[in-house]
Amino acid sequence: MAWTAPKTWTSSTTPTAAELNTYLRNNMLEMAPAKATTPLSQFAATGPNAIAQRNIKYNYIATSETTSSTSFANLSTTGPSVTVTTAGSCLVVWGAEIQIASNTDAARMSVECSGATSVAASDLRSILVWYGFAGTNYAQVSQAVLFSSLNPGTHTFTCKYRMTSGTGTFSRRRIAVFPQ
Partner 1 sequence: MAWSAPMTAVANTAFTAAQFNTYVRDNLLETAPAKATTAGGYFVGAGTNSLVERFWTTNGVTTSQSTTSTSYTDLSTNGPSVTVATSARALVILTARMRNNTASEYAAASFTVSGDSSIAASDDNALTFQTASSFQDSQASILIPMSALTPGSNIFTMKYRATGGTATFERRRITVLPY
Enumerate binding residues for partner 1 (CB under 8 A): 3, 5-13, 15, 23-24, 27, 30-32, 42-51, 87-89, 91, 93, 103-104, 106, 108, 124, 126-133, 139, 141-146, 148, 152, 180
**Residue whose CB is less far from partner 1, 75 or 107:** 107
**Residue whose CB is less far from partner 1, 20 or 62:** 20
The minimum distance between CB 147 and partner 1, in angstroms, equals: 10
The minimum distance between CB 82 and partner 1, in angstroms, equals: 18
Q: What sign does the dihedral 88-84-141-139 (CA atoms) show?
A: negative
**Residue whose CB is less far from partner 1, 82 or 94:** 94
Burial class of residue 40 (count of CB atoms within 10 Å of its CB; 0-12, 13-18, 19+) = exposed
Q: Which residues are CB-contacts of 10 (< 8 A; sequence separation ≥ 6)?
A: none
Question: How many other CB atoms are found less than 10 A from the CB of residue 117?
Answer: 17
User: Which of the 8 DSSP states describes residue 156?
Assistant: E
The minimum distance between CB 24 and partner 1, in angstroms, equals: 7
Longest dimension (CA), the chain: 87
The minimum distance between CB 173 and partner 1, in angstroms, equals: 15
